[in-house]
Structure 1
């Protein structure tokens, strides 16, 4: 009687489980390698973009804008604009000035 060296034909249950484990392990390793490579590439691109942004920024801070002229500062001739507008508004609310008179006085005062 001849000596059998092993199973001939399809693998048994253990062989199928082993093959599945090898295939799953290879797929996982490949997936992890692809993810790691993508992460490294994204990090390099971000570092390059940050470097380019730093290089494009001016080396000095721009001067601050000049302060707006104060509305409280008296105009030449010593007229306090805010005080005059307040008086006109009070007269208008009291009924001493009509809408047209108030508008024309305000326009005349503001120049």
Structure 2
């Protein structure tokens, strides 16, 4: 149980360091793509394509994270958390936040 909680806390801490990049991309997609199309009434079937666009930004986020803190993985390695586990956690958390933001924006505008 303690190992599992340590991994969850490590993923949360890692996401906190990546959040400016991921949340910035989410804000750009929602404000510059989804919102104008909702106002024009042409947003039918757009959410899966936006989710695909969000997934395509993953390599850019990875690159920016590596450039910002190149030696960041040693801390997580010492906690017993692999890079794969960290990035999977980031993808899940960011995906849920993206779906929540797009759903909330769609509900508020409609």
| TM-score, L = length of structure 1 | 0.29
| Higher RCO structure, 1 or 2 (CA under 8 Å, sep 6+) | 2
Normalized per residue, the structure richer in helix is: 2
Specify the structure having the higher radius of gyration (Cα). 1
| TM-score, L = length of structure 2 | 0.29
